[in-house]
Amino acid sequence: MALSSQLKTDALMEQMKLHLATDAGKELTKKIGLVYQINIGPKKIGVDEETYVVDLKKGEVTKGAYQGKPDCTFSFKDDDFVSVAMGKMNPQIAFLRGAMKIKGSLSAAQKFTPDIFPKPSKM
């Protein structure tokens, strides 16, 4: 299997996909029930973006734009997304520093917290 993407985000999303199948993941869809679209630019927001959809209604992660209207769309740089998802950077601070762009419902954006992503374990 080839490495489909050099993005760090891709690794996290892959893990998220597995995570959503677990009990904890199902709890998450029950709790949040929103659809997030996340655009990741490898080096810069808006440049060569790859798009992921974290569907916490159905409990799945897909690549490519959402068919329909997501509750909220975020744009990140690859590193910044990883920082936010792993709790290194507070989403509010990311937003205020311009490291995270938000489009859509703000109440949905508020529920986008680091704890929805599983943490990678280290070898």
Partner 1 sequence: MAMRDLVTGGAACSVPGSSSSSNPLGSFANSLVGSASKTQGTYRELPVVGPSPHDGTSDFRPVDPLTNLPGSELDSQTNAQSSEFLQRVRAPSHGAFDGVWNDMHRPPPLHPSLAQGTQNQPSFDEFDQIFNQGIASNHQPTLDGPPQRVLASFLHSFVNSGRSGIPFQPASLPVLGLSEGDKHRIRNRSTILSRHIFANSSEDFITAQVNALLHSLEIDSNLQMKGPLRGRYPELEDYWNETQGALQPAAPHAVDRWVSEYNHHGPHENADSWAESFQQQHGANGWASEFEQEQSQLASMGELRGVNNANLAMEQSRMLAETLSRNNDPKFKNSKFLQFVSKMSRGELIVDDNQVKPTGVANDWADQFSRENSSFGGNAWADEFANEQVHQGPADEQWVNEFSKLHLQDWGDEFEQQANEGILGRGEADDWADNFLDEVWSVKRGSDSSKSVYVFSDLNPYVGHPDPLKEGQELFRKGLLSEAVLALEAEVLKNPENAEGWRLLGITHAENDDDQQAIASMMRAHEVDPTNLEVLLALGVSHTNELEQAAALKYLYGWLQHHPKYGTIAPPMQPENSLYHPDVIRMFNEAAQMSPEDADVHIVLGVLYNLSREYDKAISSFETALKLRSQDYSLWNKLGATQANSVQSADAILAYQQALDLKPNYVRAWANMGISYANQGMHEESIRYYVRALGMNPKADNAWQYLKISLSCASRSDMFEACDSRNLDLLQKEFPL
Residues forming the site for partner 1 (CB under 8 A): 1-3, 6, 8, 11-12, 14-15, 18-19, 21-24, 27, 79, 82-83, 86-90, 92-93, 95-96, 102, 106-107, 109-110, 113-115, 118-123
Least Å from the CB of residue 49 to partner 1: 18
What is residue 121's DSSP assignment?
Answer: P
Nearer to partner 1, 47 or 123 (CB): 123
Cα(106)–Cα(103) distance, integer angstroms:
8
> Alpha helix locations (H) across 1-123?
8-19, 23-31, 78-85, 91-96, 106-110
Nearer to partner 1, 67 or 106 (CB): 106
72-89 CB burial, b ≥16 within 10 A, e <16: bbbbbbbbbbbbbbeeeb
- Helix/strand/coil for 75: strand
Least Å from the CB of residue 23 to partner 1: 7
Least Å from the CB of residue 79 to partner 1: 7
Least Å from the CB of residue 33 to partner 1: 17
